[in-house]
Amino acid sequence: MIVVKNAQVYTESEIIPEARVVIRDGLIEQIVAEDGVAEDIPPQAQVIDAKHEYVIPGFIDTHIHGAAGADVMDAMPDALQIMAEFLPKEGTTAFLATTITQATEKIEQALRNIANFKSKPGKSEVIGVHLEGPFVEKTKAGAQPVEYIQKPNMGLFNRWQELAGNKIKMITLAPEHDPEGNFIRYLNETGVTVSAGHTDAGFSELNRAVRQGVRQLTHLCNAMNGIHHRDIGAVGAALLLEELHAELIADGIHVSDEMLQLVYHNMGSGRLTLITDAMRAKGLPPGDYELGGQPVKVTEDRAVLADGTLAGSILSMQEAVKKMFKLLDGIGIRDIIQMASVNPAKQAGVYDRKGSITVGKDADLLIVDAELNIKYTICRGIIAHIG
């Protein structure tokens, strides 16, 4: 049992300025104003004094390939465990293990590994799979290995979903390769969030794909068509079509500060999901690494292929939320929660148990100060990190 006292708690529906949160058996058992409870706390309880700082939901990263030297495509239990142990320090309490375009057998090894992995309390939880590729467009491959890109294949996807133990929650694909929308409709109807990415689609193609079931854009502005006055492209579709959510890598490199401002002011926190798209070098020194079998050079602030193409990122979720918090006028902690907790939980299909502070949900909590520095990370009722 954990009792967090003297906290400003951002619940799903309100802010309680002086509150107590009681955690038992990994779940949120009680949230109550301090003046509404007796002072006595059970002697067996572990007490955290929040010192009047903020208690918010844990961050959820729905697009992450690796961290701390590990990669999802390593297809080893140790790789997922390394990621799960590392991520709480940046406030990430759950994540979608994200694959990359690769040979079929390598993707299948990664999916089997995720299916068999058991997330442990006190670590960031693997809540499913984000299948990035291989059904993407070669001219917008980015760091996706071109030689393994395939056309959409429903039979192959069904095999993969079975191997993954039905854990594929999100897929990135190029909708122009499914013009009739049969694959997209099927994915949407079976509860998989369909995200258009690594795509050459123009606005009219995206508009059609949205009607077919596309609900998100993968790493907005990257590996897609930008805004032109004769075709506003995928980026324009994100700004214009209310049905579309969008991932955003808020590092100032993948998307400039000015574009981050433009996107936020047009889409708001309600339709944006902050992601890292991080690769294995996150948390490690600059040097030579690998992504999808390709050599990657990592500097102090970015990861690139030999030709200079960005190869994922080394961004942390804490850096992403702090970037948005400092950059944007009028943004509040509630907006950060929306983009880093609520929206990703909904897009990953786990909002029934994660993404907000509500009685009965998983006790995935952060205690942060006014500048979003992390003081405590709690993962399913166990303290995972103390800042």
- Selecting among 61, 71, 251, 277, the annotated active-site residue is 277
Q: Give CA angle at 355 (352, 358), nearest 5°.
A: 70
Question: How far, rounded to the nearest angstrom, does the alpha carbon of residue 21 sit from its chain's CA centroid?
Answer: 25
The two tokens of residue 332 are: 């509040």
The two tokens of residue 290 are: 């690998």
Q: Give CA angle at 79 (73, 82), nearest 5°.
A: 145
CA dihedral 230, 173, 185, 271 (to 10 degrees): -70
Name which of 59, 87, 58, 63 is nearest 247 in CA terms. Answer: 63
CA dihedral 331, 332, 334, 338 (to 10 degrees): 30
Q: E strand or H helix at 115, and its extent?
A: helix 104-116
For residues 341 and 331, what is the distance between their CA atoms, to the nearest angstrom?
15
User: Based on the number of CB atoms within 10 Å of its own CB, is 306 exposed (0-12), middle (13-18) or buried (19 or more)?
Assistant: exposed
Verify whether residue 277 is a known catalytic residue.
Answer: yes
Beta bridge partners of 94: 60, 125
- Give catalytic residue positions: 277
